[in-house]
Amino acid sequence: MEPYVTERNIDKKTREWLGAIREFNSHRLRLSKSRCALLVIDMQKHFLDPESGSFICGGPAIVPGLKTLLAAFRTAGRPVVFTRHVHHPDGIDAGIMKWWWEGMCVEGTPPSEVTPALKPLKREKVVLKHRYSAFFGTDLDTVLRCQRVEDLVITGVLTNLCCETTTRDAYCRDYRTFFLADGTATINEEMHVASLLNLCYGFSHVTTVNDVVRSLK
């Protein structure tokens, strides 16, 4: 499958996407530098390796931007939280997902790890999850509230599954969410833009890597 976005054209594509949703992206929020955290969802080898049966073709294009974001949050001393979507080797935690999806990402295997380009620091929280939402059945909410986080910057894969579901869940928990058009990715442009439109209409401020980085300075 040809990627709908690449490192070379992501800036141009992002301008197009933001233009397409401009009418509904009206809840413009200002990121609170003292109350924000970065959430990096499922940027694992399982989804970023072109040889994987679960390869997300848009994923590689967002890696450089996420590296920039990580550096900015770390420099600002703000929390960074990673998630990894994994399942027990015997599938005892898979449920309907085992039926829905082939190629479960198995906990403890090399493909389940975060891609080396975005490697978490030892002090950074890594949440293991078994469903689309990073809040479902995890301690993410506790970790964020203990650090007095109110603003959550959402990045990772897939735009229309784990990223969108987590954003909706965060909104229902009264977090202000900043969803990055150029910091999330999926398998095709139609799904990506549909999620951006749905989220800006009812759940989130859709913005960019550069806008968030500027807010942290």
Tens digit of each residue's pLDDT (9 = 90 or more) over 157-174: 999 999 999 999 999 999
Q: Has this prediction a pTM greater than 0.75?
A: yes
Question: In this predicted model, what pLDDT tens digit does every residue of 87-129 receive, in sequence order?
Answer: 999 999 999 999 999 889 999 999 999 999 999 999 999 999 9
Q: Looking at the predicted structure, is the pLDDT value of residue 1 above 90? A: no
Please report which confidence band the pLDDT of residue 213 belongs to, taking 50, 70 and 90 as the band edges: very high
Q: Give me the percent of the chain exceeding a pLDDT of 70.
A: 100
Q: Which domain holds residue 163?
A: 36-215
In a domain? residue 71: yes
Rounded to an integer, what distance in angstroms lies between the CA atom of residue 171 and that of residue 54? 28
Look at residue 21 and tell me if it is in a domain.
Answer: no
Number of structural domains in the chain: 1
- Residue 16 inside a domain? The answer is no
Q: What integer is the mean pLDDT of 122-140?
A: 98
Over residues 176-191, the mean pLDDT reads 98
- Residue 116 sits in a domain of what CATH number? 3.40.50.850
Count the neighbouring beta carbons within 10 Å of the beta carbon of residue 216: 18
**CA gyration radius, the chain:** 16
Q: Chain centroid to CA 83: how far? A: 9
**Mean of per-residue pLDDT scores for the chain:** 97
Closest to 192 in 3D by CA, of 55, 43, 26, 14: 14
- CA pair distance 53, 153, nearest whole angstrom: 28
pLDDT of 136 above 90: yes
Give the pLDDT confidence score for residue 178 in this predicted structure: 98
In a domain, 120, yes or no: yes
Question: 124 is written with which tokens?
Answer: 């950074």
What distance in Å separates the CA atoms of residue 128 and residue 7, rounded to the nearest whole number? 28
Domain-embedded: residue 6? no
Confidence of residue 150 (pLDDT cuts 50, 70, 90): very high
Q: Provide CB contacts within 8 A for 64, sequence distance 6+.
A: 7
**SS3 of residue 2 by DSSP:** coil
- What are the DSSP E strand ranges found in the chain? 36-41, 80-85, 125-129, 151-157, 176-185, 205-207
Q: With respect to residue 148, please indicate whether it lies within any of the assigned structural domains.
A: yes
Q: How many CB atoms lie within 10 A of CB 121?
A: 9
The verdict on residue 102 lying in a domain is yes
Tell me whether residue 134 is in a domain.
Answer: yes
Instruction: Give the integer Cα–Cα distance in Å for 120 and 114.
Output: 8
